[in-house]
A and B are shown apart, each in its own frame.
Chain A
């Protein structure tokens, strides 16, 4: 770009070069271990990546992109834990939840299509017919959004991520708190993703949330009920 053209753009109030590149970025960022699983090193705009097996994995996929200014919508998941999302690094003020996307297929399709128009990432946990899923994949490709079907069969997805949670650490018999676990994620797909890949992802990861650990006081070994003072049980 010539010098004068740059000057004109600045005069017109067009933002700095950084803004332009993020607006046009072809791939949305995801954190390290997950990037290795995806053939594009991130979530490519216009692609469909189906997720199964772990809500935390879905939220972790949304995290880096929303933190960088993208907007994400989660459809049909009324029990989505926003606090866990925040702890995994999702910027929750750029997260929209549509817990009940309508009754019929056509309403669900309209809702998801409307969200694909405006959001960068749209996760859908409502099962749809084969025809609807195809239409929505096309819509995502056209609108340069990332469609993330979650825990529902979705024929035609570019990549399918299946999580198998491993054992938790940190919790013992009567003391400790849940700390983290390693989730094995297997990626299969079509085209560039045809070669299956596998990665072990700690969820929550080490660098996710500033975890506040309380001081742990070991509980006394349980004694027979009769020895207790008659305080009111809860």
Chain B
């Protein structure tokens, strides 16, 4: 429902922005209440928790009894109303829970068949690709899950692409992926001792990020990605906390970090802990082969479509698996004055945004051509006048004397031509990052006649090489 009609029906309505952290925090008591009755819960997202039904159903004699107990218990403990549904598989069970139904074992396909095709696109999952697929299917006249499921899987794959295959499996009442998941070896778990123990949310977020990177790197080295993540925390007084998160898509480092942060947030603010958390451990409880799913992980990573882009993307992900995520960089051109600052090197898979707006005017920007070799950390160099003294640039960005000799990497060259200085006076309003200096193009000739053009920058009273035109 849109906001205006909703307010029309309920004028007292208060509207909040979507905030996963808040949702996770508020959901923690519900998850905790369910866990008291049914051990081994998995949180799919804030608001949805799955439990293997076998245990509770047997204990409470019937599915109806178990559902009633769960609803009661959540209401007492967390003060909210819960809905419970039973079915084979996560997707069918979620839809059953929306309707408060108990679907008998083996009846998932039959239960799903008459439901609308829009059920494939659960708004809470925020999946753009699903929205597009559902829209397409509806326009093609496939209005129910049953109609979609009746198409052979091979035809779905050829007509709608690989992304549609999991959706097709869901519509047919199957699990999203075939059951080929393997139990990961225990050494893939990562543990971190936190000293001092954390008791604040911001510290938790920081710890989550570094731990998530480590877990992901370890998995990527083996070509794996995690679909079920176990988070285990131990407090100083020995309290053990454990929660499993389950995901439809393999988790990216950011995805892992988010879930750890949400979970820690929930524990720190909602559960009465007697002391801070001093040990944190992440277990990949279920992993899938990363390569098959890799391209889907970062939609929109490259603007290019097509087979060549796909092959290149796969190769880059492979290299990232070998050397780490920062090993493969793609340049993004942006605004700025020097050749170094105009290029931002983005690890493959990250968002390709320039560091500075290239469309702004950049007075003092160096004209093309740019040096083919650039030094991200400028290398010291000596630029000397005829008497052997340092060449100084005045506050008016003028050279006081003519440069005569340039000594770089132990090699002296005679300066035959130069130009500039191009003054640089950046961010003078900010003491930390302010930068005042001047750039100079210098052409030097070695005794053997070899000519080399340098781009020099002077800052803090010292010359340095920023680039070589080779």
The contact string, 1 if C-beta is below 8 Å from chain A, for chain B 214-234, is 000000000000000000000
User: Are B461 and A117 touching (Cβ within 8 A)?
Assistant: no
Within 8 Å of chain A (Cβ to Cβ): is B323? yes
Within 8 Å of chain A (Cβ to Cβ): is B374? yes
User: Are B374 and A233 touching (Cβ within 8 A)?
Assistant: no
Partner of A101, one of B323, B374, B416: B323
Partner of B453, one of A98, A101, A168, A219: A168
- Residues of A within 8 Å of B467, CB to CB, are 81
Given the known inter-chain contacts A56-B470, A231-B396, please indicate yes or no for A96 contacting B368, CB distance below 8 A: no
User: Are B418 and A54 touching (Cβ within 8 A)?
Assistant: no
User: Are A120 and B308 touching (Cβ within 8 A)?
Assistant: yes
- Residues of B within 8 Å of A177, CB to CB, are 367, 419, 441
Within 8 Å of chain A (Cβ to Cβ): is B459? yes
User: Are B331 and A92 touching (Cβ within 8 A)?
Assistant: yes
User: Are A87 and B323 touching (Cβ within 8 A)?
Assistant: no
By beta carbon, the residue of chain A nearest B379 is: A79
- Residues of B within 8 Å of A180, CB to CB, are 369
- Size bin of chain A's contact surface: 35 or more
User: Are B330 and A97 touching (Cβ within 8 A)?
Assistant: yes
By beta carbon, the residue of chain A nearest B385 is: A222
Please give the distance in Å from A70's CB to the nearest CB on chain B. 7
Q: Given the complex of chains A and B, what is the CA–CA distance between A7 and B416 in angstroms?
A: 66
User: Are A171 and B308 touching (Cβ within 8 A)?
Assistant: no
Given the known inter-chain contacts A92-B333, A165-B470, please indicate yes or no for A118 contacting B311, CB distance below 8 A: yes
User: Are A171 and B441 touching (Cβ within 8 A)?
Assistant: yes
Within 8 Å of chain A (Cβ to Cβ): is B339? yes
Stretch at the interface among B12-20, B105-113, B251-259, B312-320: B312-320
- Residues of B within 8 Å of A220, CB to CB, are 398
Within 8 Å of chain B (Cβ to Cβ): is A102? yes
- Residues of B within 8 Å of A174, CB to CB, are 399, 402, 418-419
Q: Given the complex of chains A and B, what is the CA–CA distance between A212 and B366 in angstroms?
A: 9
The contact string, 1 if C-beta is below 8 Å from chain B, for chain A 174-197, is 111111100000000000000000
Given the known inter-chain contacts A118-B311, A165-B470, please indicate yes or no for A81 contacting B319, CB distance below 8 A: no
Given the known inter-chain contacts A114-B322, A168-B451, A176-B417, please indicate yes or no for A83 contacting B315, CB distance below 8 A: no
User: Are B451 and A81 touching (Cβ within 8 A)?
Assistant: no
Partner of A80, one of B306, B323, B373: B373
User: Are A232 and B395 touching (Cβ within 8 A)?
Assistant: yes
Q: Given the complex of chains A and B, what is the CA–CA distance between A234 and B352 in angstroms?
A: 35
- Residues of A within 8 Å of B370, CB to CB, are 81, 83-84, 87
Within 8 Å of chain B (Cβ to Cβ): is A211? yes
Q: Given the complex of chains A and B, what is the CA–CA distance between A70 and B322 in angstroms?
A: 23
Please give the distance in Å from B94's CB to the nearest CB on chain A. 33
Please give the distance in Å from B326's CB to the nearest CB on chain A. 9
Interface-central residue, B328, B352, B417, by most chain A CB under 10 Å:
B417
User: Are A178 and B343 touching (Cβ within 8 A)?
Assistant: no
Please give the distance in Å from A229's CB to the nearest CB on chain B. 8
Q: Given the complex of chains A and B, what is the CA–CA distance between A179 and B366 in angstroms?
A: 12
- Residues of A within 8 Å of B342, CB to CB, are 83
Within 8 Å of chain A (Cβ to Cβ): is B437? yes
Partner of B398, one of A92, A93, A219, A224: A219
- Size bin of chain B's contact surface: 35 or more
By beta carbon, the residue of chain A nearest B310 is: A118
- Residues of B within 8 Å of A95, CB to CB, are 330-331
Interface-central residue, A59, A95, A100, A178, by most chain B CB under 10 Å:
A178
- Residues of A within 8 Å of B352, CB to CB, are 93
- Residues of A within 8 Å of B168, CB to CB, are none
Within 8 Å of chain A (Cβ to Cβ): is B458? yes
Please give the distance in Å from A191's CB to the nearest CB on chain B. 28
Given the known inter-chain contacts A115-B315, A117-B311, A175-B419, please indicate yes or no for A234 contacting B438, CB distance below 8 A: yes
- Residues of A within 8 Å of B329, CB to CB, are 96-99
User: Are B394 and A233 touching (Cβ within 8 A)?
Assistant: yes
- Residues of B within 8 Å of A179, CB to CB, are 369
User: Are A212 and B315 touching (Cβ within 8 A)?
Assistant: no
User: Are A234 and B308 touching (Cβ within 8 A)?
Assistant: no
The contact string, 1 if C-beta is below 8 Å from chain B, for chain A 205-234, is 000010111100001101111001101111
User: Are A172 and B339 touching (Cβ within 8 A)?
Assistant: no
User: Are A167 and B371 touching (Cβ within 8 A)?
Assistant: no
User: Are A171 and B395 touching (Cβ within 8 A)?
Assistant: no
User: Are A114 and B333 touching (Cβ within 8 A)?
Assistant: no
Within 8 Å of chain A (Cβ to Cβ): is B80? no
User: Are A209 and B419 touching (Cβ within 8 A)?
Assistant: no
User: Are B315 and A54 touching (Cβ within 8 A)?
Assistant: no
Within 8 Å of chain A (Cβ to Cβ): is B203? no
The contact string, 1 if C-beta is below 8 Å from chain A, for chain B 382-393, is 000000000011
Please give the distance in Å from A120's CB to the nearest CB on chain B. 7
- Residues of A within 8 Å of B392, CB to CB, are 225, 233
Q: Given the complex of chains A and B, what is the CA–CA distance between A80 and B399 in angstroms?
A: 30
Q: Which of B294-309 contact A (CB under 8 A)?
A: 302-304, 306-309
Q: Given the complex of chains A and B, what is the CA–CA distance between A77 and B1 in angstroms?
A: 54
User: Are A71 and B312 touching (Cβ within 8 A)?
Assistant: yes
Q: Which of B334-350 contact A (CB under 8 A)?
A: 339, 342-343, 345, 348
Partner of B316, one of A96, A100, A173: A96
The contact string, 1 if C-beta is below 8 Å from chain B, for chain A 104-131, is 0001001100110111100000000000
User: Are B327 and A98 touching (Cβ within 8 A)?
Assistant: yes
Q: Given the complex of chains A and B, what is the CA–CA distance between A229 and B400 in angstroms?
A: 12
Contacts from A to B (Cβ < 8 Å): 23, 54-56, 59, 69-71, 73, 78-87, 92-102, 107, 110-111, 114-115, 117-120, 165-168, 171-180, 204, 209, 211-214, 219-220, 222-225, 228-229, 231-234
5 A-B pairs whose Cβ atoms sit less than 8 Å apart in the complex: A71-B308, A97-B328, A114-B319, A222-B400, A234-B393
Q: Top 4 A-B pairs ranked by shortest CB distance?
A: A118-B315, A231-B395, A82-B331, A55-B372
10 A-B pairs besides A118-B315, A177-B441, A212-B368 with CB distance below 8 A are A73-B312, A81-B370, A97-B330, A98-B329, A99-B327, A102-B323, A107-B322, A110-B322, A114-B318, A117-B315
Contacts from B to A (Cβ < 8 Å): 302-304, 306-309, 311-316, 318-319, 322-323, 327-333, 339, 342-343, 345, 348, 352, 367-376, 392-402, 416-419, 423, 436-438, 441, 443, 451, 453, 458-459, 461, 467, 469-470
